[in-house]
Amino acid sequence: MEEQKLDISENQIVEALKECYDPEIPVNLVDLGLIYDIKIIDDWVGVKMTLTSPGCGMSGLISQNVRNRVLKVPGVKDADVRIVWDPAWSPARMSSEAKKKLGMPI
């Protein structure tokens, strides 16, 4: 029996990533501006992301949570998460919603 291939959209991946949080900040990773790139090749998804600080002790947990969540998207068979530091993250990357939630000027 042939396996039916599901098309995976970037929007599906972004929506899945909106369920991932930095444990110390009550805002999802997408709205924090931590997701830099999403690549979809057949049933593989690659996520390039950063963290708010290079010294973040939660990097392993956060990247594993991102990978686990991406793997739950229908059609995704494998996922790779890379944490990069260039370009450096800054609060300017945050969405207006995230800034409001954290009481920052918009």
CATH of the domain at 16: 3.30.300.130
How far, in Å, CA of 104 to CA of 11, rounded? 27
Residue 98 included in any domain: no
Residue 56 included in any domain: yes
Average pLDDT, the chain: 92
Residue 100 included in any domain: no
Residue 2 included in any domain: no
Residue 105 included in any domain: no
The per-residue pLDDT for 1 is 46
Quote the domain boundaries for residue 42.
10-87
How many CB atoms neighbour CB 6 within 10 A?
13
State which H helix or E strand residue 101 sits in.
helix 96-101
Residue 15 · residue 83 · CB < 8 Å? no
pLDDT at 56 over 90: no
State which H helix or E strand residue 44 sits in.
strand 44-49
Domain count along the chain: 1
The percentage of residues in the chain with a pLDDT greater than 90, rounded to a whole number, is 80
The per-residue pLDDT for 81 is 98
